[in-house]
Chain A
Amino acid sequence: DTEVTQTPKHLVMGMTNKKSLKCEQHMGHRAMYWYKQKAKKPPELMFVYSYEKLSINESVPSRFSPECPNSSLLNLHLHALQPEDSALYLCASSHYGQPQHFGDGTRLSIL
C-alpha cells in the first residue's frame, strides 16, 4: 500500500468541465510534486511545492492549476483540458534530500 493517497483513481471529463485531483500524505514530507505520465513513458515533472509554496512550474499550460492548502494536501485543478492531456497523473512527496515516494495516480481521460 502506498503512503501517498490520490483520488479519484479514474476520471473521465469533457473539455469544458472543471475537476480537481487530490493528493494526501501524512509522512511529514515538506516537498510535494505533480507528474504527468503517458503510456510507456517515464513520468514528466509538472510542479514542485516546497513548504507549501510553488517552487517549480515546468512551463505547464494554465489549464492546470496546482494548489497546496497545507503540508499534507496537494490539489491539481483542471479546466478546459484537451484530448492530449489524457494521461496518468502522479503525485509524489519527499523529505528534503530524500527519495520521492509516489502515489498510484489518477487515470484521466478527456473526451
Chain B
Amino acid sequence: GQQLNQSPQSMFIQEGEDVSMNCTSSSIFNTWLWYKQDPGEGPVLLIALYKAGELTSNGRLTAQFGITRKDSFLNISASIPSDVGIYFCAGQLGYGGSQGNLIFGKGTKLSVKP
C-alpha cells in the first residue's frame, strides 16, 4: 500500500526557533493535509492544500504542496511552548470511495528543549 515518509520523527524546539518538517511519497496526491494532535485529544486540522505549488499560511504556520505532487512541507515560525505535540501529514488521492481515504505519515513529535 501507499506510504508517506515523514521527517523528522522527533525534534526539540527552543522558544523563538523556526521549525520545519516534511512528507514525501512515491505516489501522487491531489490533496495534502497537516494535522496537530495534543495528548488526550484528536487530530486538529491546521492547513489543507489542494493544488500543486500552493503555499498556504495559517498564522505562524506555512505549508506548501510540492510541484511534483509527491511532497509537502510545514514550517512553524517563532515557535512557542504550545506548539509541542505530534504533527501528522496526510495525503488524499481524490474524492469518493477509497480515493477519499487519508494516508497518514508516521508523525513528527515536537518537544521543548530541556
Contacts and interface: CB of A to CB of B under 8 A. Distances in A.
A59 interface: no
Nearest to B9: A40
Contacts of B104: 42-43
Interface residues of B, number: 23
A50 B95 CA distance: 12
A99 B41 contact: no
A97 interface: yes
Nearest to B30: A97
Interface in B59-99: 88, 95-98
Interface of B: 31, 33, 35, 40-45, 48, 88, 95-98, 100-102, 104-107, 109
A94 B50 CA distance: 16
Nearest to A101: B45
A102 B109 CA distance: 19
Nearest to A2: B42
A78 B38 CA distance: 26
Contact of A97 (B33, B43, B95): B95
18 contacts: A2-B42, A31-B100, A41-B106, A42-B106, A45-B101, A48-B101, A50-B96, A56-B101, A90-B42, A96-B96, A99-B48, A100-B45, A100-B102, A102-B43, A102-B44, A103-B42, A104-B40, A105-B42
Contacts of B42: 2, 4, 6, 90, 92, 102-105
